[in-house]
């Protein structure tokens, strides 16, 4: 009984946000920047999260339940190119993804697509060799994917769908639940708070 109430509240807030949305882009989603990475790393420290160094650590965290599988159902679809061992995130992160994806599915009848989730330091180092715009693997501006608290959503959406999703994420960012970067091909979402 609580879930329909929460969904109705979310849809009402989104409708209100969309009504206030002018032709000019007014959302406050972040562009990828040093400041955004510093903010994400500060949140990782405040939450007491650790960086996953390698595949062995990742596997251990999955076995003990510190990381849980991303949903792959009617509301969330995993991009086929995302390796099976990287389809995990923190329980708080998965809960937030499910909340957003179910509201999106209720509105548009299609699932959201997750392009990326947990990424060990060693994988981030490999990614940096091929993608110079990727965040570093270590240091004060390291990728938040290494904490298990982040996922990327595909931006390959129709205009109305993308606007709705951006509005919703902007609202959650305003309430300090997420930090969102608007990247060229995806929306990078780090979950830093609970929606309850």
Question: Over the range 34-58, which residues count as b (16 or more CB within 10 Å of their CB) and which as e?
Answer: eebbebbbebbeeeebebbeeeebb
Q: What is the number of domains present in the chain? A: 1
Q: How far apart are CA 195 and CA 12, in angstroms?
A: 15
pLDDT in the model for residue 127: 86
The answer to whether residue 57 is domain-embedded is: yes
Return the CATH number at 131. 3.30.1380
pTM over 0.75: yes
- Sequence-distant (≥ 6) Cβ neighbours of residue 91 within 8 angstroms: 65, 68
Question: For residue 85, what are its two tokens?
Answer: 């061992």
Strand partners, 7: none
The answer to whether residue 112 is domain-embedded is: yes
Q: How far apart are CA 66 and CA 3, in angstroms?
A: 24
The answer to whether residue 5 is domain-embedded is: no
The answer to whether residue 7 is domain-embedded is: no
Domain of residue 93 covers 31-191
Q: How far apart are CA 156 and CA 176, in angstroms?
A: 26
Q: How far apart are CA 186 and CA 171, in angstroms?
A: 18
- Sequence-distant (≥ 6) Cβ neighbours of residue 13 within 8 angstroms: 171
The answer to whether residue 43 is domain-embedded is: yes
Q: How far is CA 127 from CA 1, 3, 11, 143, 158, in A?
A: 44, 38, 37, 11, 28
The answer to whether residue 21 is domain-embedded is: no
Q: What is the pLDDT along the chain (196 residues), one digit of tens a residue?
A: 455 555 555 555 555 555 444 433 445 677 778 888 999 999 999 999 999 999 999 999 999 999 999 999 999 999 999 999 999 999 999 999 999 999 999 999 999 999 999 999 999 998 888 887 788 788 998 899 999 999 999 999 999 999 999 999 999 999 999 999 999 899 999 999 987 6
The answer to whether residue 69 is domain-embedded is: yes
Question: For residue 82, what are its two tokens?
Answer: 């995302």
Name which of 96, 127, 79 is nearest 193 in CA terms.
96
Question: For residue 1, what are its two tokens?
Answer: 């009984």
For residue 167, the number of C-alpha atoms closer than 13 Å in the C-beta half-sphere is 21
């Amino acid at each position: 009984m609580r879930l329909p109430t929460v969904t109705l509240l979310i849809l009402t807030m989104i409708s209100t946000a969309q009504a206030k949305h002018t032709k000019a882009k007014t959302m406050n989603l972040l562009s990828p920047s040093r400041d955004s990475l510093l903010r994400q790393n500060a949140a990782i420290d405040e939450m007491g999260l650790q960086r996953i160094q390698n595949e062995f650590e990742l596997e251990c965290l999955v076995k003990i339940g510190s990381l849980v599988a991303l949903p792959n159902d009617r509301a969330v679809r995993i991009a086929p190119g995302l390796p099976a061992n990287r389809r995990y995130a923190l329980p708080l992160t998965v809960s937030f993804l499910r909340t957003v994806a179910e509201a999106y599915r209720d509105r548009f009848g299609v699932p959201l697509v997750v392009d990326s989730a947990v990424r060990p330091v060693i994988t981030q180092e490999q990614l940096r060799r091929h993608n110079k715009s990727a965040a570093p693997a270590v240091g004060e501006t390291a990728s938040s994917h290494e904490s298990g608290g982040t996922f990327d959503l595909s931006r390959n959406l129709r205009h109305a769908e993308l606007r709705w999703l951006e509005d919703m994420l902007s609202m959650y960012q305003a309430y300090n639940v997420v930090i969102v970067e608007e990247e060229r091909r995806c929306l990078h979402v780090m979950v830093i708070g609970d929606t309850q």
